[in-house]
Structure formats: C-alpha cells, structure tokens
A = this chain, B = another copy of it.
Amino acid sequence: MAAARTLRIGLIPGDGIGREVIPAGRRILESLPSSLNLKFNFVDLDAGYETFQKTGTALPDKTVDTLKKECDGALFGAVSSPSTKVAGYSSPIVALRKKLDLYANVRPVKTTAGNSNGKPIDLVIVRENTEDLYVKEERTIEGPNGKVAEAIKRISENASFRISNIAGEIALRRQNIRAASPTSTRDQPMVTITHKSNVLSQTDGLFRETARRALAAEKFSSVFVDEQIVDSMVYKLFRQPEFYDVIVAPNLYGDILSDGAAALVGSLGLVPSANVGDGFAIGEPCHGSAPDIEGQGISNPIATIRSVALMLEFLGEEKAAAQIYAAVDGNLDAAQFLTPDMGGKATTQQVLDDVLKRL
C-alpha cells in the first residue's frame, strides 16, 4: 500500500460561530475512511475582530507566514464586522485572499434531491478574488459642499484571464462528473460572464473581452459561453436558476450574486466556498459570524463541511471530496437532523454526528 499523503491544514476559526463550525470541519477530515489514505496535521491560527482587539491586528503575520510556509490548505470560519467604524480594523479574509494570491473564490450552490422544491439548481459562482473595488484604495476630500470619497475599481487583463480560465476548467470538470451521473440533464457545459460594461466600458469592458478571449481557447471548445449584465443576472438568477452552470464575475458582483444564489437553496448555512490559488485552497463557509445565534450550539455545520470537501477538491483529492458531498446530501435528504435555519431542531453536534455516520 502506498504511503499516505499528509496534508497540513491551518484552522482559522475567527469570530462568532466560526468557532463552532471549524471544529466540525476538522472532525470530518479526521474521520475520512482510511481507504482514502490521507493523513492530516492541523495548526491553529488566529485572525478576526477579537484578535484585532487583543493584538491590534486582525491578521497577524504569524498566520500568513504559517499558511505560506507550513500549510497545504486551510479552513476559515468567519469574522465579525464592528458595527461602527473602528480605526485600523480591516477584514482579515479580504487581506488573506490577496496575501496568498487566492485569486478564485468558488461558490457552488446546489439543491439536493430531497431539497429542491421546483427545478434542481446546480450552479457555481466563480468570483475573482483579488481586485475590483476590493483593492480598497480610497480617499476622502473635504470639499466646499461637504465630504467626497472616492474608491478605485481596478480590473486587470491578467486577473480577468486567470479567473475566466479557471471558470472554464471548472465547467469542464463539472461536465466530467455529470457525464458519470445517470440523472444529469445538462449536456453541454456553460459559462456565463457577468459584467456591467454598458456603463463601465473600460473596466467591465476589459473583463468581458478578456473572459471571451480566455474562453475561446481550444480546450474550451465544448463550453457554451454566454453573458449577462449584472442587474439582469440577478433577475435571471432568481427567475430561472436551473438554467445556469458556471457564472464568472468580478469580485463585487460575485460577492452579491453568491448571496443571492444562496437564498435560492434555503439557507446561507448550506453554502460553501473555496478561496483558490495555485496549489493552495482555503475552505470558507459563506454564512459569516452570525452573532444572533452564537454560543447556542445550533449553527449549521453543513457549509463548513462542504467547504472542507471543496478545499480537498482543489488540493487534488476529488474522491475524498465526493464522499463528503454524498454524506452531506444523505443528511439533507433524510431531513432528520437539521439545524433551525433549515427548519429543524438539531444541534451542530447532532448534524455533524449524522454526517459522520454516513461518511
């Protein structure tokens, strides 16, 4: 038998319910069937608003260094945003994405067999993760008529190309998986480019053009390429979500679209994401720190468990990922152990146990 592959995983629970769900993610990794021949080392890392309050920085250098030098991947929980402006504080996840050049934010949104009232949704939003308004270059001028603030929206050919390229690759990979499934109804992979080039002809125009060029590559010849203006994309997403496969978008539109898509499947507590760079991936549930339910032991671990699978997928462990997805689908379809956000009464622990049982 071949030597086990050992993956070193950074655990960054962050704030709020991040501390309740990340341990569940760790348990999933520890409990993978031994036939997969995977071993994990874990390292606990700090980031978040509480870290900021204790140390004056929301993202300690040690966290970034350890991830860079010692880890293959990581799990990130959530961070609280202070309710009023706090000098010196800025979101550590946005910084982390940039510092590790995790240029793609991948957000699959999917109904399961038992969980689609209506047509099944199975789409993924591939969000550019390093630029757009997230460069956070802002300034404020005190004018004669009051303050005027400006922010830069930056779109580069480079970043637009690589995000569109990975979107195309994800579309092909999904098609391969579908090809193996007897129930699949889609016969051609599709990528929908989202932009607002009717107003932003240079920035979003560059994104649109570059995406078209990237997706015109020979390797994507089987992919149907389409586009939607962002406002109309939100409309269509809501009216006919079953139509979409891969949606590629600049950072901010991707942020907005992925929350919109999450609403379609019932709860943000179900929706995973991965921040993906070359050879590195951070799994991150999309739900945020959820101060309203913190400490009650009822946060939904599904988004994190799916994020674990998504991270593994991008670390080349597709088989492990598939087993985790199947266990989650089993839990959801049985609908016996669901957290309150899903209309159930189960605790985080009960949902985790049920998924572990199915693994």
What residues of chain A have their CB less than 8 Å away from a CB belonging to chain B?
81, 85, 90-91, 94, 133-134, 136, 138-140, 143, 145-158, 161, 196-203, 205-206, 209, 229-232, 234-239, 252, 255-256, 258-260, 262-264, 268, 288
Contact = CB atoms under 8 A, between A and B. Distances in A.
A230 B256 contact: yes
Contacts of A91: 198-199
A336 to B, nearest CB: 24
A235 B91 CA distance: 21
Contact of A263 (B81, B150, B235): B235
25 contacts: A81-B198, A85-B201, A85-B209, A133-B199, A134-B199, A136-B201, A138-B202, A138-B203, A145-B157, A145-B158, A146-B158, A148-B157, A149-B154, A150-B153, A150-B203, A151-B155, A151-B202, A152-B153, A153-B153, A234-B234, A234-B263, A235-B262, A236-B263, A237-B263, A238-B263
Given A149-B206, A203-B150, A239 B256 contact: no
Nearest to A156: B148
Contacts of A154: 148-150
A317 B252 CA distance: 40
Contacts of A263: 234-239
Kindly report how many copies of this chain are found in the complex they form together: 2
Nearest to A82: B198
Contact of A260 (B90, B94, B238): B238
B94 A140 contact: no
Contacts of A94: 199
A140 B134 CA distance: 18
Contacts of A256: 230-231, 234, 256
B259 A234 contact: yes
Contacts of A288: 232
Given A136-B199, A148-B157, 18 more contacts: A85-B201, A85-B205, A133-B196, A133-B200, A134-B199, A136-B201, A138-B203, A140-B202, A148-B155, A149-B154, A150-B152, A150-B202, A151-B200, A151-B202, A196-B255, A235-B260, A238-B260, A260-B260
A131 B330 CA distance: 49
Given A85-B197, A256-B256, A263-B239, A202 B234 contact: no
Contacts of A205: 85, 149
A156 B151 contact: no
A153 B156 contact: no
A151 B153 contact: yes
A196 B67 CA distance: 28
Contacts of A90: 201
Contact of A252 (B196, B232, B259, B264): B196
Given A238-B263, A238-B264, A256-B230, A147 B152 contact: no
